[in-house]
Amino acid sequence: MKKEKIRMNNVNIGLGVFGDLKENKYNVNSVGFSCYTTQRGITLIALIITIIILLILAGVTISLTIGDNGLFKTAKEAGIEYEKAKVKEELEIAIANMQTKKIAEGKETTREDLKELINSGVIIETVDIPTKGEYKDYVFEINENYEVTILEKREGEIPKIEANVITEGKVKKGLKVEIKVRASIKEGTIASIEATNGAELKQDANNTDTEKTFEVVENGTYYFKVTASNKRINMAKVEVDIVQEGKLTISIDNVTSKSCKINITDTKSIENDNMTFEYYCDDIKVATTQEKYYEIDNIDWTQEHTIYVKEFSENNYKDTSKKYHLKNGENPQLTSSDNPSIITEGNWCDNYNSSWSSTGKIYNYYAFDKNFSTYASPAGSGSTPIGCSIGYDFGRPVMVYEASGVIRMYGYKIQASNDNKTWEDIVIASSPCSSGGNSFENEITDGKEYRYWRLYINGGQSNSIWGAIIWELQFNYIELNIED
């Protein structure tokens, strides 16, 4: 191959190149070098420049990829934000579904209801406000408006937890049901196993750090929480439905203005004569006795009271009756004549109507207006008040414990009925027929509930407008509600 020589004169490179390029040789002196090349070769200058450019591009690429604001970090942060948004959305959907369910049941959502989210893999650590928990390794908070905020992500192994009812068969109400809770973790230790509602740790059981026995006495849903040494938490839920409902029932009667009597009315649960009963008023034990009744004294009916009984057999708890909530009630103040709650028999008038005609009935509400300057009066000139009556329809059966008022008549009865036709004599009394009227208070200890209560006149002066007058008539009764 024929070589072609290229002559380059005085080409300066770096510190300087001097001389001729001959025979593909190059000479380097103290101030430069000379080179001689072929046409097909690539120059050293171009190679150096290319390497430098590649190094610069590589540096830029590495910086954009793995630097503080690099693509890898940006992609990772975006992935975390997406994961947090997904966790938040799933929690919000679970809460909305729970609230919808409660609305369909006619109930309001409570903080305790959030524990139901455990069915969706959610861990509820506390039910305070804000409620704190964990879902898919992310810690979250739920505020008072049930809005979700995602916090930090937790690392480390989640402990395992298992809870099971170990009591077999059905259990009579009052006896204890045992629940065994086991926890484990591969790395680290179990710090605690706790019951979050209702269950109590069985003291005489062989409890360890990883296995505990709890006891409950009622059917329901119970939650247990395990905490590991790495602070990770897990929860388990147990449904108890083997407790048979008790049969101890009570009734309330002999209600007076300051007392009432509690009676045990169903003794099917009473197994023998060694049964003992604890009587409670407002969660305070007022008596322990084997008697199947007890009278509570010194009750202030202006306050609401809760009454119930507990049953024991040889010091072992057996049953609790339903709770009775009692408070004072009375017929309301009437201010108009068109009140359908007033029931009367006979002709009635008032102190402004002297015609003594049946049209006087429009004024009979004066007996219930809580105004002692007005009154209602039956019959009148040429007739007798005997056989006339005035009373009140409560719209439902109530237990009246006192009838009181200010009247003028010789004799009267307090009567009650559930159909406004057949009347029972509850009180038969007489009253001096003085011109100024007489206050009366009749305690009623019948202990039965009636819808209609009235004052029936069985003694009064005939042919006299003063034969019978009622300034005020009041029926005090007990509002009684039984807790489900």
Q: What is the pLDDT of residues 47-82, one digit of tens each?
A: 888 888 888 887 777 766 666 666 666 777 777 788
User: Quick check: pTM over 0.75?
Assistant: no
Q: What is the pLDDT of residues 413-439, one digit of tens each?
A: 999 999 999 999 999 887 655 555 678
Domain with CATH 2.60.40.10 in the chain: 160-244, 253-324
Superfamily for the 331-482 domain: Galactose-binding domain-like (2.60.120.260)
Domain 160-244 coded CATH 3.90.550.10: no
Per-residue pLDDT, averaged over 1-15, amounts to 44
Per-residue pLDDT, averaged over 268-282, amounts to 72
CATH architecture group of domain 253-324: Sandwich (2.60)
State the Cα–Cα distance between residues 280 and 323, nearest whole angstrom.
Answer: 10
> Which tokens hold the place of 137?
């390794």
Judge whether residue 213 has pLDDT over 90. yes
pLDDT of res. 10? 45
Q: What is the pLDDT of residues 188-200, one digit of tens each?
A: 999 999 998 888 9
Domain with CATH 2.60.120.260 in the chain: 331-482
